[in-house]
């Protein structure tokens, strides 16, 4: 499990909201900290990878898929770098 | 974040409207905001006047002004994403900046699942109706005559067939698959279960060629020469092995002399079905050669309408979106059918095999009941255009 400082729950949110909310949350995070985003939208896996390449202040430090009560959860660990 | 709240005011467009524009070859600018991988896997294709820009929505999140500047402001912008939400979001951003932008209802998924229904033949004895899935290049047909209906290669969304048969006031009596498909999920077994009409497929195709496991769906075996009546029309089974071991063509004979050949993945208008999707390309190629050179000529005359299960590009069809042509035309325009000896043919085939999509193995499992995906998984399995034809 990747270490993290804060958690953002975007379960149930559909595209583009997981990214819109994550982007806002990372802006409130001190530089160097890691945000764990918990999403149910499978499309978020590729989109977080694409976003991390595009955004100047974000690094994707890890992604995991876990099953919780029969539901797949997509975990994205993003670090504010600037 | 006022954009989000304003989203309800952004106009939409439907897959049917988009397809009508494409068939008319109207200039259409598509802004596809999916990520690059999804876009590369499949995207909306037009005839000659469709322009597409792929600019993922998350780039808009980072730089609205910079991204908007890359979108032409002198024409309407048709925004597309995977499911709908992101295209609505981006269309909202563009609209705020004075662009005329609309987004695709239901996103690319709804485009992939859009069906277009139109008559190929409408005669005194009845009709041949083409049911196309334009995004996938998939074709299926209904034959309606004397109050009876038969389906050839029906696809997963079965309601479209039930509706068109009900509108015609007919009863579904027979469901034919030319073969067990690898690229898309058949609607045949589900339609048989829903209506009680028999589902016909050749028994050779009821064995998964890679798993070597038999079908667990209910089907009725057909073979060379089996014939059926549908109203005033006669339908005869003709074995055409090569694409699969059990691929058959169905020959239609109408009382006015009209004939048609539902060729499945045997021959297409511009190509023919690849022989390697069972994992046995080298073994099946000689069989395909004999089907093309020896069997096919006995199934057609010059005026026989060739009615295939796929197209690769929209320009194979006419301006009305009909993907059928007389055999004389097909023979003249299908480079894949030009005379070759067996060695030339084998070289031609084996050097023109496109990529083997890994999901095709699983789709064959689904089609004989060895696997049962949920709707979401089925959508993912069927995403993108068929790759059943040779690429040559």
DSSP state of B189: H
Structure tokens at B272: 């023919």
Nearest to A55 among B36, B62, B82 (CB): B62
Task: Give the residue-averaged pLDDT of B354-374.
Answer: 94
Instruction: Map out the domains of chain B with their CATH numbers.
Output: 2-111 (3.40.250.10), 115-381 (3.60.15.10)
Quote the pLDDT of residue B30.
98
Using a CB–CB cutoff of 8 Å, tell me whether A72 touches chain B.
no
Q: Please state, in angstroms and rounded to a whole number, the distance separating the CA atoms of residues B225 and B283.
A: 25
Taking 80 as the threshold, does the pLDDT of residue A1 lie above it?
A: no
Percentage above 90 pLDDT, chain B: 92
Residue of A nearest to B34 (CA): A47
Considering only CA atoms, which of A54, A52, B361 is closest in space to residue A62? A52
Q: Which of A56-60, B103-107, B381-385 has the lowest mean pLDDT?
A: B381-385
Residues 8-37 of A with CB under 8 A from B: 14-17, 19-20, 23
> Cβ atoms within 10 A of the Cβ of B258, count?
16
Tell me what percent of chain A is helix, strand and coil, each rounded to the nearest 5. 25, 40, 35
Q: Where are the alpha helices (DSSP H) in chain B?
A: 2-6, 15-23, 36-41, 57-62, 64-69, 85-96, 107-112, 159-167, 188-195, 281-290, 327-333, 342-350, 359-367, 375-381
Task: Kindly state the helix (H) or strand (E) to which residue B251 belongs, with its residue range.
Answer: strand B248-253
| Burial category of B152 from C-beta neighbours within 10 Å (exposed 0-12, middle 13-18, buried 19 and up) | buried
Average pLDDT across chain B, whole number: 95
| HEC readout, B78-124 | EEECCCCHHHHHHHHHHHHCCCCEEEECCHHHHHHCCCEEEEEEEEC
Q: Tally Cβ neighbours within 10 Å of residue B21.
A: 17
- Is residue B335 very low, low, confident or very high in pLDDT (cuts 50, 70, 90)? confident
pLDDT digits (tens, 9 = 90+) for B4-54: 544 458 999 999 999 999 999 999 999 999 999 999 989 999 999 999 999
Distance CA B123, CA B75 (A): 42
Q: Which residue among B4, B35, B85 places its CB closest to the CB of A46?
A: B35
Instruction: Nearest by CB to A46, from B4, B38, B59: name it.
Output: B38
What pLDDT, on the 0 to 100 scale, is given for residue B27?
A: 97
Residue B157: per-residue pLDDT: 97
Q: Which of residues 85-104 of B touch A (CB under 8 A)?
A: 85-86, 89
3-state class of B236 per DSSP? strand
- Its ipTM equals 0.92
Is the pLDDT at A75 greater than 70? The verdict is yes
Confidence of residue A2 (pLDDT cuts 50, 70, 90): confident
Q: Is A82 part of the contact surface with chain B (CB cutoff 8 Å)? A: no
Q: Do the Cβ atoms of B332 and B313 come closer than 8 Å?
A: no
Predicted pLDDT at B7: 46
- For residue A16, whether the previous peptide bond is cis, meaning omega lies within 30 degrees of 0, is yes
Summarize the confidence of residues B149-175 as an average pLDDT.
98
Q: Give residue B207's pLDDT.
A: 96
pLDDT for B230 = 98
Rounded to the nearest 5 percent, the helix, strand and coil shares of chain B are 35, 25, 40
How large is the average pLDDT for residues B315-321? Answer: 93
Question: Which residues on chain B are in Cβ contact (under 8 Å) with A46?
Answer: 35, 37-38
Interface test with A, best of B2, B5, B33, B35 (most A CBs within 10 A): B35
- Minimal CA separation from A4 to chain B, in Å: 23
Nearest residue of chain A to residue B87 (CA atoms): A16
* Rg (chain A; Cα; Å): 12
Contact at 8 Å (CB) between B277 and B314?
Answer: no
Query: Would you list the DSSP string of B191-214?
Result: HHHHH---EEE-GGGGB-TTT--B
Inter-chain contacts counted by CB atoms under 8 A, chains A and B? 48
Matching residue, tokens 């048969």: B165
DSSP count for chain B of H helices, then E strands: 14, 18
**Chain A contact for B4, CB < 8 A?**
yes
B67 is catalytic: no
Residues of chain B found within 8 Å of residue A14, distances taken between Cβ atoms: 83, 85
Q: What confidence tens digit (pLDDT) does each residue in B254-306 have?
A: 999 999 999 999 999 999 999 999 999 999 999 999 999 999 999 999 999 99
Domains along chain A with CATH numbers? 6-80 (3.30.110.40)
Our CA-based measurement puts residue B374 at a distance from the nearest CA of chain A, in whole angstroms, of 14
**Percent share of chain B, pLDDT over 70:** 98
Among A15, A31, A46, A66, the active-site one is A15
Q: Quick check: A60 contacting B, CB < 8 Å?
A: no
- State the pLDDT at residue B383: 82
Cross-chain residue pair B61–A17, CB shorter than 8 Å = no
Give residues 24 to 63 of B whose Cβ lies within 8 Å of A.
35-38, 56-59, 61-62
Using a CB-CB cut-off of 8 Å, the residues of chain B touching A15 are: 57, 81-83, 85-86
Residue B389 has which token pair? 């034809």
Asked if B35 and A15 come within 8 Å (Cβ–Cβ), the reply is: no
Q: In what order do the strands lie in the sheet with B199-201?
A: B116-123, B126-133, B138-145, B148-152, B171-176, B199-201, B220-221
pLDDT above 70: percentage of residues in chain A: 99
Whether residues A43 and B4 touch (CB distance < 8 A) is answered with no
Min Cα separation B370/chain A (Å): 22
- Is residue B326 within 8 Å of residue B305, measured between CB atoms? yes
Helices (H) and strands (E) in chain A, counts: 2, 4
B83 touches chain A (CB under 8 A): yes
CB-count exposure of residue A68 (10 Å: 0-12, 13-18, 19+) = exposed
| 3-class secondary-structure state, position A37 | strand
Q: Tell me the three state secondary structure of residue A16.
A: coil
CA B251 to chain centroid, in Å, comes to 20
pLDDT at residue B8 in the model: 54
Q: Which of B67, B81, B374, B388 is catalytic?
A: B81
To probe the interface with B, which of A16, A37, A55 has the most B CB atoms within 10 Å?
Answer: A16
The label of the residue with tokens 């994205």 reads A76
**Closest chain A residue to B36, measured at CA:** A50
């Amino acid at each position: 499990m990747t270490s993290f400082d804060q958690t953002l729950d975007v379960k149930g949110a559909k595209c583009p909201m997981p990214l819109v909310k994550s982007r806002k949350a990372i802006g409130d995070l001190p530089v160097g900290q890691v945000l764990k985003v918990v999403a149910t939208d499978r499309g978020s896996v590729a989109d977080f990878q694409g976003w991390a390449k595009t955004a100047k202040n974000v690094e994707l430090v890890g992604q995991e898929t876990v099953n919780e009560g029969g539901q797949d959860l997509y975990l994205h660990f993003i670090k504010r770098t600037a | 974040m006022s954009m989000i709240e304003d989203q309800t005011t952004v106009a939409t467009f439907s897959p049917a409207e988009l397809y009508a524009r494409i068939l008319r070859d109207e200039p259409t600018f598509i802004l596809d905001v999916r990520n690059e991988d999804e876009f590369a896997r499949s995207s909306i294709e037009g005839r000659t006047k469709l322009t597409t820009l792929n600019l993922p929505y998350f780039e808009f999140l980072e730089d609205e002004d910079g991204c908007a500047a890359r979108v032409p402001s002198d024409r309407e912008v048709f925004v597309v994403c995977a499911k709908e939400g992101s295209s609505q979001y981006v269309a909202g951003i563009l609209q705020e900046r004075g662009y005329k932008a609309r987004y695709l209802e239901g996103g690319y998924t709804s485009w992939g699942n859009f069906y277009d229904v139109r008559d190929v033949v409408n005669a005194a004895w009845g009709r041949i109706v083409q049911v196309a899935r334009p995004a996938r290049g998939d074709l299926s047909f209904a034959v309606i005559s004397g109050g009876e209906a038969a389906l050839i290669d029906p696809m997963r969304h079965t309601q479209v067939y039930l509706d068109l048969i009900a509108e015609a006031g007919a009863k579904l009596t027979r469901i034919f698959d030319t073969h067990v498909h690898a690229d898309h999920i058949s609607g045949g077994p589900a339609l048989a279960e829903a209506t009680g009409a028999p589902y016909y497929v050749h028994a050779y195709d009821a064995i998964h060629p890679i798993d070597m496991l038999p079908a667990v769906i209910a089907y009725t075996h057909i073979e060379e020469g089996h014939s059926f009546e549908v109203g005033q029309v006669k339908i005869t089974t003709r074995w055409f092995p090569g694409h699969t071991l059990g691929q058959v063509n169905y020959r239609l004979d109408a009382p006015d002399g009209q004939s048609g050949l539902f060729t499945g993945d045997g021959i297409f208008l511009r190509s023919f079905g690849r022989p390697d999707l069972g994992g046995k390309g080298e073994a099946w190629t000689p069989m395909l050669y004999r089907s093309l050179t020896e069997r096919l000529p006995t199934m057609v005359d010059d005026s026989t309408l060739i009615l295939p299960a796929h197209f690769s590009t929209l320009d194979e069809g006419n301006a009305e979106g009909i993907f059928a042509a007389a055999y004389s035309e097909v023979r003249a325009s299908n480079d894949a059918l030009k005379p070759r000896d067996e060695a030339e043919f084998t070289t031609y085939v084996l050097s023109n095999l496109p990529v083997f999509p890994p999901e095709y193995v699983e789709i064959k499992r689904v089609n004989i009941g060895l696997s049962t995906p949920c709707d979401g998984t089925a959508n993912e399995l069927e995403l993108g255009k068929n790759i059943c034809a040779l690429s040559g």
